[in-house]
Chains A and B, each alone.
Chain A
Amino acid sequence: MQNYNLINIAIYAVIIIGFAVITVLLSALVGPKAKSNEKLSPYECGVEPVGNARFSFPVKYYVIALMFLIFDVEVVFMYPWAIIVRALGAFGMYEMGVFIFIVLVGFVYAWKKGAFEWE
């Protein structure tokens, strides 16, 4: 059984929380306060904020992100496989074939369901 020294983690946690609380409190107590209209705006200089930040944007972006994930994960799995493909032999080829087939079915499904049509 490993016997971890949890006191280190406890000290670490106390220091982190203390640092966060103290910096926020200090700046609130010591910092100068000038509550003019200009000071209270989100950006003192730069573009004027327009509208609400929580507006809805097209769901298509989510679909694009999902499609990216499919291909990205596929490639991530293929790198380690490519390094030991000789040692794995024919078995490794079959397994990767099955894996690519699984991803391919998802790809064809998304394609036929219109995931790549922007309109």
Chain B
Amino acid sequence: MHFDLNYSAILPQIIIGVTLFISATIDAFSSARKWPVGIITLFGIGAGISSAVYLWGSNIVSFSQMVSLDEFSLLLFITVMIAGFITVLVSLKYVDDMEPDGGHFYLLLLSSLLGMMFLVSATNLIVIVLGLELMSLSIYPLVGFTRDRQISLEGAMKYLILGAIATAFLLYGIALIYSVLGTTNLYTIARILSTAQHMTGNLVMMAGVAFILIGFSFKVALVPFHAWTPDAYQGAPAPITGFMAAAVKAASFGAIIKVVIIVLQSFHVPVAEALWWLSAVTMFTGNIIAVMQKNVKRMLAYSSIAHAGYVVVGLVSGTAFGMSSAVFYLLSYTFTITGSFAIITYLEKNDGTGSELSDFSGLAKEHPILSLIMAVFMLSLAGIPPTAGFMAKLYVFSAAIKSGYIGLAIFGILTSVISLYYYLRIVYAMYFEESEGRTDTPVPAGIAAGVFIALWGVIQLGILPSDIMNFAMQSIQSLIH
């Protein structure tokens, strides 16, 4: 019997999976403090990142064309694993403070990473659904991790129900496409579509594509599918909010980009128009509502909605450069948002308060370095040079202009001017407002390390973006055969 099994095609996934087993065993046999489980998790994710770097340049399609290991999936592996690494670093003390027996935090985080990695490396719609579900089902309990906070459970419940609806949309879309083409393999779908011109305008096929787009739009929180985001992001523990904003978005966008590049290039439906509207509405709504928020976590939730809109601008342009700029945007946003939430984790108190705007007042006097770094992150989110956020926005908008979407680019730049207001309000609170007596605890080593890694990424991508952009270009080229 012959089997199409090349295990190096899933080597990073195997490493994360084995780490999951080791961490689970250690968690089961260890005492109340769970930081050793976190340390093992850190080593595992570190090994995963190293393996992804080592495998760079390979192009393997295996397991009966179910998964592929190419530069695209590797770059997104690295993105989500960096998000996971920083999140675990930040959570080492947080988990032990929140839950007496909270080792499952790391296990759920690892299994969600595993799901994300299968999601971005899938070349079959069924594997995409499996990866998406493994990711989502691990994130729901993480949102409700602090189970004595009612707001946390409320967020988890809303996320669970709307996430289930999203999966239903996605599955129904896949079923419709299967009913027309008789296959779920992305490359086979692309081949059939490129030879069958009469498929253009097929209503069942259009409905299938639309349903898949809606399912993913729920996951990356594009307006009007964003209703769960503010509650889930505010209710979740601060490190998990950062992880959701960074990794869940990056992985879901990875799947969208893959489907758009492989399948929709040869299927002439007005996907670009649909994405145009989604992106414009998302950028506008996210930034406008964020202006009115008093809670920083909720504010960054709306800001993350707006950022999803900016990523879609890269998709709208439809060129290889536009897709690469979207991937670059995901990486830069990952560094910025995990770093910001590391600092919010430090400020968050055990009962879940401490993330109001007033809690940032006068932070600069007590923690000058931390405040400076927070200010850099806020400037990066707003898109001010020399940070990663500026370069990411520059690439995305220049790709849109090159493809002739000048109106969308101008609109995006205008909305990002609006966003400057609420990002700078945090900076203003830190530097120019009086503090209201804060109980001062030293910054834990894990949070400090996580913040510095994120800061390094933000500066590196802001000053020397061309190397990373080259990697992003290579990753997109690896999808176009």
Interface residues on B, range: 10 to 19
Q: Check if A89 is an interface residue, CB within 8 A of chain B.
A: yes
- B4, chain A: closest CB distance, angstroms: 13
- A104, chain B: closest CB distance, angstroms: 10
In the complex, chain A residues whose CB is within 8 Å of the CB of B28: 108-109, 111-113
Interface residues on A, range: 10 to 19
Say whether B179 contacts A4, CB under 8 Å: yes
Q: Which residue of A lies closest to B198 (CB)?
A: A1
Which of the residues B1, B21, B182, B198 comes within 8 Å of A87, measured between beta carbons?
B1
In the complex, chain A residues whose CB is within 8 Å of the CB of B3: 91
Q: Which residue of A lies closest to B29 (CB)?
A: A112
Q: Check if A36 is an interface residue, CB within 8 A of chain B.
A: no
Say whether B182 contacts A2, CB under 8 Å: yes
- A86, chain B: closest CB distance, angstroms: 11
Known contacts A1-B196, A87-B1, A89-B1; A105/B25 CB under 8 A: yes
Q: How far is the CA of A4 from the CA of B179 in the complex (A)?
A: 9
- B18, chain A: closest CB distance, angstroms: 10
Q: Check if A102 is an interface residue, CB within 8 A of chain B.
A: yes
Q: How far is the CA of A47 from the CA of B1 in the complex (A)?
A: 62
Which of the residues A88, A102, A106, A112 comes within 8 Å of B1, measured between beta carbons?
A88
Known contacts A2-B182, A88-B1, A91-B3; A109/B196 CB under 8 A: no
Known contacts A112-B28, A113-B28; A105/B21 CB under 8 A: yes
B-contact bits for A91-119, CB 8 A (1 contact / 0 none): 10000000000100110110111000000
- A112, chain B: closest CB distance, angstroms: 4
Q: Check if B357 is an interface residue, CB within 8 A of chain A.
A: no
Q: Check if B231 is an interface residue, CB within 8 A of chain A.
A: no
- B153, chain A: closest CB distance, angstroms: 14
In the complex, chain B residues whose CB is within 8 Å of the CB of A91: 1, 3
- A100, chain B: closest CB distance, angstroms: 13
Q: How far is the CA of A32 from the CA of B114 in the complex (A)?
A: 61
Q: Check if B27 is an interface residue, CB within 8 A of chain A.
A: yes
Q: How far is the CA of A87 from the CA of B134 in the complex (A)?
A: 32
Say whether B182 contacts A109, CB under 8 Å: no
In the complex, chain A residues whose CB is within 8 Å of the CB of B198: 1
Say whether A1 contacts B180, CB under 8 Å: yes
Q: How far is the CA of A106 from the CA of B20 in the complex (A)?
A: 11
Q: Which residue of A lies closest to B181 (CB)?
A: A1
Which chain B residues numbered 26 to 41 have a C-beta less than 8 Å away from chain A?
27-29
Known contacts A87-B1, A88-B1; A109/B25 CB under 8 A: yes
Q: How far is the CA of A4 from the CA of B198 in the complex (A)?
A: 16
Q: How far is the CA of A2 from the CA of B179 in the complex (A)?
A: 8
Q: How far is the CA of A112 from the CA of B104 in the complex (A)?
A: 13
Q: Check if B418 is an interface residue, CB within 8 A of chain A.
A: no
Q: Check if B171 is an interface residue, CB within 8 A of chain A.
A: no
A-contact bits for B1-26, CB 8 A (1 contact / 0 none): 10100000000000000000100110
Q: Which residue of B lies closest to A101 (CB)?
A: B21
In the complex, chain A residues whose CB is within 8 Å of the CB of B179: 4
Q: How far is the CA of A89 from the CA of B3 in the complex (A)?
A: 12
Q: How far is the CA of A13 from the CA of B180 in the complex (A)?
A: 20
Q: How far is the CA of A22 from the CA of B233 in the complex (A)?
A: 46
Which chain A residues numbered 18 to 75 have a C-beta less than 8 Å away from chain B?
none
A-contact bits for B195-236, CB 8 A (1 contact / 0 none): 010110000000000000000000000000000000000000
Q: 9 A–B contact pairs at CB < 8 A?
A: A1-B180, A1-B181, A2-B180, A2-B182, A87-B1, A89-B1, A105-B21, A106-B24, A109-B27
Residues of B near any A CB (own CB < 8 A): 1, 3, 21, 24-25, 27-29, 179-182, 196, 198-199
